[in-house]
Structure 1
C-alpha cells in the first residue's frame, strides 16, 4: 500500500547521485519494517501522468523487537532521460511529499552465521550495503566479501560508508574494488569484470565452495557474467541470488498471434478481494487488472523489479521477459503480471500469494 511520506533530506553522494530520506510517521513504522536488501516504490504525478520508480533501502535493519524504521533512505543515480532521477537530483527538496509503497522484494539476506559474498556494479551497492551492515552488526559468526565495480572513484556511491564498515570489521569484511575507466594505486587493474576475469578472480579471493550465499546486483551485463562465472566454478544455483538494476537492451515483443484473439477474461485476487474482467487484445495481465483495480502493485513495468509478482492459479500466459523471478519461483507458478500475456481464454492470478 502507498502512503504519503515527507522528504527529510536530499544529500549528494556523487556528481550524479543523491540519497533521499523519508520520514516515517509513528503509526506507520510497522508497515515500513523491511528486511536487508528490500526496496520501495516511489510514485509521483507529473504533467498529468504517473511516474513510479523502485529504489533499494540502504540502511541497516534494527534487530527485533524494534517496531520499524523512523526513516527510510534510498540512493538515486541519475539515468539519462530518467524522469524521476532528474527530478530527484535537480528539484526534490526537504518538505516535499511523495507516495511510497511499503517495502517488498526477495533479494534478502537475513542475518545468520556463515560466509557470504557479493558482486555489485554501480548503484547495485545500495541493497548490499544494507545487507552487509545488518549482517555484521547482528551476527558475529558471519563474514562477507564485497567485490564492486565502478567507472571511477568519483562515481562510486557510498564510498565512505563502505570504508567505515571495513574499518569497523576489518577481519570480517573483505573489500575488493575494480574501476573500469580509471587506474588505482591499490586493488585490481582497471577494466570491466567480465565472466573470464571473475572466474579467475573469485577463487583467488575466497574459498568459493564454502560461500553460503552469493548476491549479484547491478546492470544486466555484470550480473549475467557473474552468474556464468559462478556456474563455471560449480556453485549451486540455490546459493546465487540476483537483482538487476538496469537492462541495456530492450526486449523484442512477443508474437501477436500467441495472444488470445479478441481478448479473454482475467481474474485476479488482490488484498483479499477477487474480480474478473475482460481483457483487450494485446494487453498484459497487469494492464487488464489496472483498468479495474488501480491499486494493483507495479513499479517498473519492465520485468526487472518484481513488484507485480503474482501466482498463476489457472490458465496459461507468455512472459515477454523476466529479470526478477528466481527459477524456483517460476517453477512454483509465479509470474510477472506486467510481462504476462494470456494464452488461454481465461487466466487467474493471485497477487496475495
Structure 2
C-alpha cells in the first residue's frame, strides 16, 4: 500500500547521489517499521505515466522508524534524475510500505557482506541494527567503489568503525584509483575474493553472507563463496543493477519455452480473486494490472521481488530472475513481472 509522505531532508552524499528522508506520521509508524535490509518503492507521475522505483532503507531499524534511502543517479533514470535535481524538503512522494527478504533479524553470531556501489544501502541498515542491538555480534564489511569521491555513506560507515572497533571490520577496495591504505586498486572478482576472504576472516564460521550491488559483483562473490565451501543457505543476494544485455538463459525458468494459443490467469490479491485472458506478449503482472491497479510491483525488471507470487497451478516461463532465492523458486514462487503462461490455465496467489 502507498502513502503520501513529506520529504523532511535531502542530503547530498556525492556528486551523483543523495540521501532522502521521509517524515513518518504517528499513525503510520507501525506500517513503516522495517526489518533491517528491507526496501520501499517510490511512486510519481510524469507526463501522464506512472513511475515506480525501489530503494533500500539505509537507516537502522528502531522502534520509532526513520525512513531514509540512498538514491544514486542512473543515466536516463526518470526517478533518480528527479530526486537529484528537483526533489526538495516539503515535497510529497507516494511511498509503499517496506518489503523485501534480503534481511537480517539481529541475533548473536558472525556476519559478513560484500557490496558494490549503492549496494551499501541495505547492508548499512543491517550492520548498524545488528551491532547496536546484539552486544556479542560481529560484522565484516567488504565494499567496492569506483573512486573515494563516489563512495556513498562514508561518514556513516566510519562511525560504525569508531563505535564498534572490536566488532566491526571494514575492508575497502577502490577500482579506479590507487589508495594509500586498504586493498590495491581493481575489481573484486571471483578470483580476487577467493584469495582475499580466507585472509580476512574464518569463512566457515560466518553465519550469513549478504551480497549486494551490480550483478557481476554479486555473481562473482557467490561463486567465490561456494568454491570456499559456504552452503547455499548462508548466502543472501540482492541485485541493484542488471545490464539489459544479460542473457536471460542465465536465469531460472519454470517450464519449457512454449506459449499456448490462449491462456487464462486466475489471481488472488488481498483476499479477492479474479480471472482474465492473457493477451499476446504480456506478462502475468500486466494481465492483473489491466483490472487490478493495486497489484504489487516496482521495477518490472526481475530484480526487486515486489511482485513475487505463489504458482498455485499451471506452468509459467520466467524471462529472468534476479530476486528469488533458489529455495523460493523450488517452493513454487515466481516473479509475476517476468512470467508468461506455458499452459492454458495458470493460477497465482499474491497473498502467500
The aligned residue for residue 4 of structure 2 is 4
Q: How far 1:152 moved relative to its partner?
A: 0.7
The residue aligned with 1:331 is 330
Matches of 2:46 and 2:257, distance apart in 1: 35
Cα distance in 1 for residues equivalent to 2:350 and 2:151: 37
Alpha-carbon offset, residue 352 of structure 1: 0.6
Match of 1:108 in 2: 103
Asked whether the equivalents of residues 37 and 130 of structure 1 are also in contact (C-alpha less than 8 Å), the reply is: yes
Counterpart position of 1:274: 273
Q: Which residue of 2 aligns with 1:42?
A: 42
Report the TM-score when normalising by structure 2.
Answer: 0.97
Among candidates 176, 181, 190, match of residue 176 of structure 2: 181
TM-score (norm 1): 0.96
Conserved 8 A contact 1:37-1:131: yes
Contact 1:251-1:321 at 8 Å conserved across structures: no
Q: d(CA) in 2 for partners of 1:236 and 1:163?
A: 31
2:236 and 2:315 map into 1 onto residues whose CA distance is: 27
Residue in 1 that maps onto 2:140: 145
Equivalence for 2:231: 236
Work out the CA distance in 2 between the residues paired with 1:123 and 1:253. Answer: 24
- Determine the structure 1 residue equivalent to 2:87: 92
Other-structure match for 2:51: 51
* Aligned-pair CA distance for 1:249: 3.5
Shift of 1:250: 3.4
Write the distance in 1 (CA, Å) between the matches of 2:317 and 2:233: 25
Aligned length: 347
1:15 and 2:10 aligned: no
1:24 CA drift (Å):
1.0
- Cα separation, 2, equivalents of 1:260 and 1:212: 45
Q: Does 1:204 align with 2:203?
A: no
Structure 1 window deviating more from structure 2 (247-256 vs 95-104): it is: 247-256
* Distance apart, 1:201 and its partner CA: 0.1
Q: Which runs of 5+ in 1 are unaligned?
A: none
Residue 72 (1) aligns with residue 67 (2): yes
CA distance, structure 1, for counterparts of residue 50 and residue 10 of structure 2: 22
* Aligned equivalents of 2:154, 2:242: Cα separation in 1: 24
